[in-house]
Structure 1
Amino acid sequence: MTGYNYDARDLQRRLAALGLYSGEIDGVVGPKTEAAIVAFKRGRGLRPRPYIGPLTWNALIGMTTSTSGRSDAAYQPPWLNELGKVIGLHEVRDNGALTAWLRSDGRTLGDPAALPWCGDAAETAMLRALPNEPVVPSTNDNPYWARHWQGFGKPCGRVLGAAVPMSRDGGGHIAFLIGVSLDGQAIRCRGGNQSNMISDAWFDADRALTYRWPVSYPESMQRPAPIMDAAGAILSANEG
């Protein structure tokens, strides 16, 4: 593979931090590394081919570098890793695999091709990572209703992995924070039912109703969400 000048071991470490690569950190860009590159690019709307150019590399750096420039690979919250493993799955094209994953926590809303499933994805990722985490504060609350995540866990700031329930005409949306724009007016979140798939997308920061952190995961693991360049980004307005 040819393309942008990068260190292959660094590439593998960054892809592993996102839950996309599970092979050896050996600097050999083989089938596993190439598959991880394709998954990364597919989840970000880039042409899904095993090629690293400047756009891909800059996106990857933004996903795995903190505001201090330090690698955040050791700080990737486990629920983001869970979503990273299935990023790119589409509700129609990959219905079987997506449905199986949504059921893997022992609960499911139903067919993602027929129902709004962002809450199902958030619950599945959280419970696979933290099986004892109470995803809603009361049994009367439905975790599949995105706005109920306003009562999830405990308040936090704009930290990597924070649950972000959002406003939306006619309902809401729930996803997890992975980045903040340079001007602070946009946030990048990973979640389900974003362009009908598990993906990363930009949102107007004003849509965030709150930022929440799980009660069963240490606050000491909180890290500021990476600062990213959102120039030219299209903000999601109506998830689906």
Structure 2
Amino acid sequence: MSSIKLTQAVGLGGANNLNDVKAVQTALNKLLKLIPPTQSLKIDGRLGSRPDISKTVAAIKLFQSKVLNMLRPDGRIDANGRTHRKMNEKLLSIEAMANVNTSLEMPVTKAFWMKTAVNEVGESEVAGAKANPQILEYFKASKFWGSDDSGGQNAWCGSFVAWVMKQNNFEPVKNAFRAKEWTNFGKPIYKPVYGAIGIKSRQGGGHVAFVVGQSADGNYLFMLGGNQSNSVKVSKYKKEVWDDFVVPSNFDASSTHLPIYTQKASIAGSEA
């Protein structure tokens, strides 16, 4: 679905034609990451006898609030109106990302939290005062108070790791938004394995990311992390820059290994 066409308005006070409502419900289901905690909507083309309390209208309002920054969401999508145009913009963005191979093949591993981390590849900052709602969810997981995802003061690598681990029922460390605090998580290991959390120093602070592989010569590590050139991605680092590696306390590091990484990656860049 690249975009949706509407013949008339959908939502509160709208004509709510069956096919228009179905199109909006389908689109909102494609955009669920932008409007947490919304659950998948039933695509039935109906808003019920009380549209004001329908889940579809609630999702429209949440989209208007989180994505359009409306102070008073009206729960209505006018054909070619502001909400309709922004919805199509986001749908086109998702389609563009789908055409870029951001997916990673996971090795057979007991580091089950990595499925969550891999699924986040491609999430990126929004320039200016606005923010990617998913990155704000990372902030919540680490108890970071920021409302903007860009700029050095809002570095979010630690928040990304906190969100991933919290999704898998691990309690993040205190002050998880500070990368170097992750040295206090779980237990240390002395050789990196797939899924381990790596911590390193950088100018002005630290950086934290998940290990996903090594180069054939063993001199480089490939790390999946947040805020790597302002997005969630895999980047290539010299092995010696990483100071510490940790895993959950109950994780048997001998049950996994460090594979040779042959997939897409970028050279390590900005982490602030």
Same fold (TM over 0.5): yes
Deviation (angstroms), 1:64: 3.2
C-alpha separation in 2, matches of 1:207 and 1:237:
13
Shift of 1:97: 3.4
| Equivalent AA in structure 1 for residue 121 of structure 2 | I
Q: How many Å separate the matches in 2 of 1:106 and 1:238?
A: 21
Which letter maps to 1:89? E
Identify the match of residue 99 of structure 1 among 110, 135, 141. Answer: 135
Does the aligned pair in 1 maintain the 2:155–2:271 contact within 8 Å?
no
Aligned to 1:218: 251
Higher-RCO chain (CA-CA 8 Å, sequence separation at least 6): 1
What code does the residue aligned with 1:145 have? R
User: Offset of 1:168 from its aligned partner?
Assistant: 1.1
CA separation of 1:220 and 1:177: change in aligned 2, threshold 3 A: closer
Matches of 1:175 and 1:214 in 2, distance apart?
14
Which is higher, the Rg of structure 1 or of structure 2? Answer: 2
Shift of 1:158: 1.4
Q: How large is the RMSD of aligned CA atoms in angstroms?
A: 3.1
Taking structure 1 as the reference length, what is the TM-score of the superposition?
A: 0.61
Other-structure match for 1:116: 155
Aligned equivalent of 1:125: 164
Percentage of matched positions with identical amino acids? 27
More deviation, 85-94/170-179: 85-94
Structure 1 residues 200, 234: closer, same or farther in 2, change over 3 A? closer
From 148, 152, 155, the counterpart of 2:188:
155
Which residue of structure 2 lines up, in the alignment, with residue 90 of structure 1? 124
Mark the runs of 5 or more structure 1 residues left unpaired by the alignment: 1-34, 44-59, 66-71
Aligned residues of 2:222 and 2:265 also touching (Cα < 8 A) = no
Q: Are the counterparts in 2 of residues 89 and 97 from structure 1 also a CA contact under 8 Å?
A: no
Query: Aligned with 1:84: secondary structure?
Result: helix
Matched, 1:236 2:272: no
In the alignment of these two chains, the number of paired residues is 173
Gaps of 5+ in 2: 1-94
State the TM-score, normalized to the length of structure 2: 0.55
